[in-house]
Amino acid sequence: MIYADVIVDIAQGNLDRVFQYRIPASLEGKLEEGSPVMIPFGKGNRLIKGYVTGFSDTTDYNPEAIKEIRSLVVGGMSIEQRLLSLAVWMKKKYGCTLIQAMKTVMPVKKKIRTRKDRFLVRTMTVEELHGLLSVCRKKNQKARIRLLEALVQDEAIPYDVILNKLNIGKSTLDSILESGAARLEEKRKRPDNRNQGETAPFVSLNGQQRQIAEEFIRNFDSGNPGISLIHGVTGSGKTEVYMEMIAHVVSQGKQAIMLIPEISLTYQTVMRFYRRFGDQAAFIHSRLSQGERYERFEQARNGEISMMIGPRSALFTPFERLGLIVIDEEHEGAYKSETVPRYHSIDVARRLAKDAGAGLVLGSATPSVDSYTHALKGEYRLYRLSQRAQKGSALPRVSVVDLRKELEQGNRSIFSRELYQAVCDRLEKKEQVMLFLNRRGYASFVSCRSCGRPVNCPHCDVSLKAHRDGRLVCHYCGYSIPIPKLCPSCGSPYIAGFGTGTQKVETMAAQVFPQARILRMDQDTTSGKEGHQKILAAFMAGEADILIGTQMIVKGHDFPNVTLVAALAADLSLYAGDFKSTERTFQLLTQAAGRAGRGEKAGQMIIQTYTPEHYSIRAAARQDYQMFYEEEMTYRRMMEYPPCREMAVMTLSSKDERKAAAAAKEIAGRLSGSAAPETLQVIGPADAAIPRINDIYYKMIYMKSADIRLIFSAIRQVRRFYEWTDWKKSVMIQFDYM
Ligand code: ADP
Ligand code: ZN
Ligand code: ZN
């Protein structure tokens, strides 16, 4: 290669300004994508630093006028370089372009008015606040009550948290400021900073918690922080352990990133971190503007903050001295990017932690089968927290109701008799209830109302999905049949798509429980995340007795007055059409059970199902992770699914369906021809779950192997071949891992 593409200011996020430079003989073969170089720039040929992003043999400019790279920069990795190297890794692994990868990992610079982080600070005594509160309560001023209650709890609250997490509008805030209850301050030191850098915990860790934290600290101090998985039941105090670890890392002058699914990033969670860490902690969420996000990343780069808390994208916080990454609720699907590049946050975190010599801590009440397997193999340190940390808080009672029996005995309602009784009981006691449907996405499967069985693929042991053209299709092998008129299992004519939406549930609940105040939360009722927060805040404030929704209502919220949680048809997510649907069902039911009775009162969960014998449901009912894991692994081994096999999928996309199909066929043929079928299994090509999106057609090829290196080598081979094809310009190739 004669020329190198060089980006000059990635720190500014100016990724589209790429310049060609000639590679001097002295650097031939020494440059790679991501290499930092010094280049003469501009009219004065001022020497500046740039980064190599690609190579070429030709140029569109006058070759005489192209300047030469001066030198390769050697020495320590700057944060830019580390992020760029991450982007290069992403490009190779996921098959996206370097620019796509860089746009994912580099903060995009946006100019905004710089505004200092402000805090609302209490200026009245708690007694005075209570006086004001009782006035507001009489007038039923809900937003003011919310804010005043928060001020009673906390002396200082970040302005941003008030707007975004407490959902307090500007006018409410102004009225509180006018009343003299609080004022805005620019900077706020951590409440407890008596001994520089040391932050005192607010609870003292119990034996199990302390052991985990201390072992981490020992390993961290000896330079071997490694990867840990904390398997701790909901409420077992994982967050306290993370905070202890973070406090240590920060006290050693290092920095930490903590990922939390956006939906769990509640006011309570955010304030827990502010209480302990003050303005050393920053958080990001999807409602920040790009400018605000950029500003926080700048604070991180400048060392003004020591920890960043947020969803997936917080991973790319440019900390120079990263010491720890924590991923809470590590099993959550939200950690996988749904846009190109389709990276998984755990994979990226592992790579980042390795580069920076940082520790990685994963935590969950229901670890992913994948992570748990790594832990059992000894690749991760495995810790358990088996009890709820708070005194008097027990795990809920779980019961399973067989919906087939209900139907047999003449109950056609979506509420079983047990659930009906339980709801009536809570309404009487003025306790709250959550009813949810674990349905996701709109692609639906077809199942029998008599026997509850879905229609399965004869080759893959997954359910077929109903397509709009009236056919049932397997998303793994492409097998398809017309929608049958009779149930293939029992011959019943009552076979139908599972369309019980939350709206229908709401209508029925209103008929059955006329005395109840009902709130509904799903994609339709709520416009964006603001709507979600509002509904949750209202439910939290006791403005409704029953909350009905999709699975999002049972994720990560603590409602002390909720003592009953019910899955209306637990099977809905069991047959979602991919091999992880059982795992997701178990996780969801177990997590949902954890939502019941988090306060003082005992909790109960009711699982309504057509398949009470299914192990995911039995294990969830017993809150028995071990049992689920073993059964699931038996199934995965039998079906040769991950983590027993490595599995990747290649997606070919094109506006031209024939080209996509031809390319897919050719590649699949080459792959099957090139490897021994027993070492690399090639499945497909098949249409994607949604074969066309925005007039682009998608074809999939699955690859399975016992050895990930065989898959990587197949991918490299495909990429090399791709470069020479004449459909290169019209067909895109992406990779994704299961
Ligand atoms: P998890 O993250 O595992 O769900 P949390 O850390 O949120 O658990 O803890 C659940 C509740 O128990 C919180 O209210 C927390 O303050 C409390 N808690 C945690 N550890 C202790 C402890 N050692 N002593 C008393 N309370 C604790
Ligand atoms: Zn199939
Ligand atoms: Zn049937």
Over the stretch 317-344, which tens digit does the pLDDT of each residue have? Answer: 999 999 999 999 999 999 999 888 999 9
- Per the listing, tokens 């009782």 go with 134
Task: Identify which of 286, 335, 352 has the alpha carbon closest to the alpha carbon of residue 90.
Answer: 352
Q: Are strands 397-402 and 604-609 parallel, antiparallel or unpaired?
A: parallel
Q: 158 C-alpha vs ligand 3 centroid, how far in Å?
A: 56
Interacting residues of 721 by C-beta distance below 8 A, sequence separation 6+: 667, 670
Give exposure, 428-452, as e/b (b: 16+ Cβ within 10 Å): eeebbbbbbbbbbeeebbbbbbbbb
CB 184, CB 237: distance < 8 Å:
no
pLDDT in tens, 210-254: 999 999 999 999 999 999 999 999 889 999 999 999 999 999 999
Q: Are strands 495-497 and 480-482 parallel, antiparallel or unpaired?
A: unpaired
Cα–Cα distance measured from residue 17 to residue 384, given in angstroms and rounded to the nearest whole number: 50
Cα–Cα distance measured from residue 667 to residue 675, given in angstroms and rounded to the nearest whole number: 12
Closest approach atom of ligand 1 to CA 206? 23
Q: 388 C-alpha vs ligand 1 centroid, how far in Å?
A: 7
Cα–Cα distance measured from residue 455 to residue 416, given in angstroms and rounded to the nearest whole number: 25
Q: 258 C-alpha vs ligand 1 centroid, how far in Å?
A: 17
pLDDT in tens, 547-571: 998 888 887 677 889 999 999 988 8
Give exposure, 293-321, as e/b (b: 16+ Cβ within 10 Å): bbbbbebbbeeebbbbbbbbbbbbbbbeb
Closest approach atom of ligand 1 to CA 385? 3
175 has pLDDT over 70 = yes
pLDDT of the residue at 193:
40
pLDDT of the residue at 292:
83
Closest approach atom of ligand 1 to CA 241? 6
For ligand 1, atom 6, the nearest C-alpha belongs to 237
For ligand 1, atom 21, the nearest C-alpha belongs to 389
- Averaged pLDDT score across all residues of the chain: 86
**Three-state DSSP class for 518?**
strand
Cα–Cα distance measured from residue 504 to residue 487, given in angstroms and rounded to the nearest whole number: 24
- Per the listing, tokens 């961290």 go with 220
Amino acid at 609: T
Q: What is the mean pLDDT of residues 181-201?
A: 60
Task: Identify which of 615, 613, 566 has the alpha carbon closest to the alpha carbon of residue 593.
Answer: 566
pLDDT of the residue at 116:
64
**Three-state DSSP class for 447?**
strand
Q: Any idea which ligand is nearest the CA of 449?
A: 3
354 has pLDDT over 60 = yes
Cα–Cα distance measured from residue 670 to residue 647, given in angstroms and rounded to the nearest whole number: 18
pLDDT of the residue at 595:
81
Cα–Cα distance measured from residue 349 to residue 632, given in angstroms and rounded to the nearest whole number: 26
pLDDT of the residue at 240:
95
pLDDT band at 467 (very low <50, low <70, confident <90, very high): low
Q: Any idea which ligand is nearest the CA of 457?
A: 2
Q: Is 191 exposed, middle or buried (0-12, 13-18, 19+ CB in 10 A)?
A: middle
Q: What is the mean pLDDT of residues 480-507?
A: 76
Residue 334 has a CB neighbour count (10 Å cut-off) of 17
For ligand 1, atom 4, the nearest C-alpha belongs to 235
- Per the listing, tokens 């909720």 go with 562
Q: Is 223 exposed, middle or buried (0-12, 13-18, 19+ CB in 10 A)?
A: exposed
Q: 244 C-alpha vs ligand 1 centroid, how far in Å?
A: 12
pLDDT in tens, 468-485: 566 787 766 678 888 888
Q: Is 201 exposed, middle or buried (0-12, 13-18, 19+ CB in 10 A)?
A: middle
Q: Any idea which ligand is nearest the CA of 231?
A: 1
pLDDT of the residue at 53:
84
- Per the listing, tokens 């890794």 go with 89
- pTM of the predicted structure, to 2 decimals: 0.84
Cα–Cα distance measured from residue 573 to residue 585, given in angstroms and rounded to the nearest whole number: 6
Interacting residues of 648 by C-beta distance below 8 A, sequence separation 6+: 702, 703, 711, 715, 735, 736, 737, 738
pLDDT of the residue at 324:
98
Q: Alpha helix locations (H) across 519-558?
A: 528-540
Closest approach atom of ligand 1 to CA 232? 3
58-62, 134-138, 192-196, 582-586: lowest mean pLDDT where? Answer: 192-196
The helix (H) or strand (E) run that includes residue 636 is: helix 625-639
Which residues, in sequence order, are bridge partners of residue 336?
Answer: 344
The helix (H) or strand (E) run that includes residue 592 is: helix 581-595
Q: Any idea which ligand is nearest the CA of 271?
A: 1
pLDDT of the residue at 241:
97
pLDDT of the residue at 275:
87
Q: Angle at CA 264, nearest 5°, toward 261 and 269?
A: 120
Percent of the chain with pLDDT over 70: 90
**Three-state DSSP class for 555?**
coil
Cis before 685 (ω within 30): yes
Q: 319 C-alpha vs ligand 1 centroid, how far in Å?
A: 28
* Residues having CB within 6 Å of any atom of ligand 1: 203, 205-206, 209, 232, 234-240, 389-390
The helix (H) or strand (E) run that includes residue 277 is: helix 267-277
Q: 405 C-alpha vs ligand 3 centroid, how far in Å?
A: 14
For ligand 1, atom 15, the nearest C-alpha belongs to 237
pLDDT band at 636 (very low <50, low <70, confident <90, very high): very high
Cα–Cα distance measured from residue 432 to residue 597, given in angstroms and rounded to the nearest whole number: 10
Q: 487 C-alpha vs ligand 3 centroid, how far in Å?
A: 5
pLDDT in tens, 57-100: 888 788 888 999 999 988 777 788 888 889 989 988 888 888 88
pLDDT in tens, 591-620: 998 888 766 777 899 999 999 999 999 999
From 202, 203, 332, mutation site for ligand 1 pocket: most ligand atoms within 8 A of C-beta: 203
pLDDT band at 500 (very low <50, low <70, confident <90, very high): very low
Of the spans 190-199, 394-403, 553-562, 619-628, which averages the highest pLDDT?
A: 619-628
Task: Identify which of 546, 553, 466, 454 has the alpha carbon closest to the alpha carbon of residue 506.
Answer: 546
Q: 726 C-alpha vs ligand 2 centroid, how far in Å?
A: 31
Name the token pair of 536.
Answer: 């949750």
pLDDT band at 107 (very low <50, low <70, confident <90, very high): confident
